[in-house]
Each structure stands twice: as structure tokens, then as C-alpha cells.
Amino acid sequence: MIAQAETNSHEIKALVLDFGGVISKTLFETHDLNEAALGLPAGSLTWQGPFAPGEDPLWRAMQAQEISERDYWLTRAKEVGALLGQDWQSMKQLVQAARGSVDPMTFIRPEALATMEQVKQAGHKLAILSNELDLFYGEDFRPRLPFLADMDLIIDATYTQILKPDPRAYAFITGGLGLAPEACIFVDDQMKNIRGGQDAGMTCVWFDVHDPASSYSQALSHFGLPALA
């Protein structure tokens, strides 16, 4: 887990979270559910991304910034579509087919809900900074996630067209919340986005998808709040 130096808790006023991977479980973690929803035999989806990077060269290419995250998922969407005899041309088709018929709260990390509740009850602000929330999940996804009503601000590059780690993406958050970057804790599972947040002046916590509880506890520590059980 990587974070900047511990910050005095009284200076921190907002928790800013990425969505995919941080709030929601990754598609890699739900292959069994995805296969069932898609009508595919168990074991059809073999790519594991951060859970087996040595066996996923496309993921390694993304981490090396040889391709974008959107490129990675577009390729995966095309592959899954081909398994179904369909010509898919967007990640949205994959996500909606794999998750659209299932209660979306099934894919939300309980650690995320517990953390957001603590932060909100302590009187701090909550925000989401995503590169593709509605692009991947669709506009009708949000009303099915009741906790989004607790967000003070949601910035989605689906509409701004400014992707992390572009400095302007982080400025949308600080400007929208009316806070200095130093008052924000930013959590993301992609190191390039963490570096962008650090360059913007935010205190950052790299989210380890292998250990969500520890990552969220690290974020809570900056607010002087107790770690997750």
C-alpha cells in the first residue's frame, strides 16, 4: 500500500474515490457471476488482470501505458462478445450484459460502504472521480445504487472528456468541492492516477484490490477515524 506522509486529521475534509475497482469489485473478481449472467460455461473468462498479471500480457501493456485502460476493456468486450457470437464494440455492452440483470449492490465492496458511512457521519465530504462511470455502466445504473445520494460531488470523464491523470480532472474535484487539494484524500487502484493526484497536491492512497480493508483503513487513518474491523 502506498500513501503520502500522514496528514493532520483536522486538515482533511473530503474523501475522493475512484469507482471501478475501488467502490465496485473488478470484473476479474466476479468472473463466476459474469459467466452465469452471460450464459457462458464456467472457466470461459480467463483473464485476471492484477490478480495474475504474469498471465495477462494485455494488462501488463496497460500498466506500462502502452495502451489505455479503455483500450484494455474494449479488447476484453470484443473477446467476450465473440464468445457469444456477437460483435461488441464497447465496454458498456460487456458490463450491462454481465451485470445489468443482477442487483448492482452485489458488486459494491462492503468495505467501501462502511468507509463512506464513517466519513459522512464524521462530517466530511464524499466525492467520486471516475474516468468512465456512465460510459461503462450506463446512465440507468446510478439510481440503483442508493449510496450515491450521499455523494457531495461526482465527476465523470464520460461527460468532461478529461481523464485522470490529467491535472484538470483533479481540479474539477477541488473546484467543485471548494477545497484545497491538501484537504482531499484520493483513493485509486491505478498507480498512474495516484501519481496524478499527488502531482495535484492531494494526499493519495493506492488501493490494493487484493486487500480492500487495509486500503480503506489507510484512508480512514487520515481522518483520524478507526480502521475497519
pLDDT in tens, 73-91: 999 999 999 999 999 999 9
CATH classification of 9-24+108-221, choosing from 1.10.10.10, 3.50.50.60, 1.10.238.10, 3.40.50.1000?
3.40.50.1000
Three cell numbers written together for 35: 459467466
- Cα distance between residue 155 and residue 126, in whole Å: 12
The domain spans of the chain are 9-24+108-221, 27-103
Element (H, E) at 96: helix 91-99
Could you read off the pLDDT of 181-224 as tens digits, one per residue? 999 999 999 999 999 999 999 999 999 999 999 999 999 999 99
Could you read off the pLDDT of 100-132 as tens digits, one per residue? 888 999 999 999 999 999 999 999 999 999 999
Distances (CA, A) of 64 to 31, 47, 49, 67, 141: 24, 17, 13, 8, 31
> Max alpha carbon distance in the chain (Å)?
55
Three cell numbers written together for 91: 465496454
What pLDDT does residue 101 have? Answer: 86
The answer to whether 38 and 97 are in contact (CB under 8 A) is yes
What pLDDT does residue 10 have? Answer: 44
What pLDDT does residue 122 have? Answer: 98
Residue 3 has a CB neighbour count (10 Å cut-off) of 19
**Residues above pLDDT 70, as percent of the chain:** 96
SS3 state at 15: strand
- Cα distance between residue 152 and residue 143, in whole Å: 16
> Is the preceding peptide bond at 165 cis, omega within 30 degrees of 0?
yes
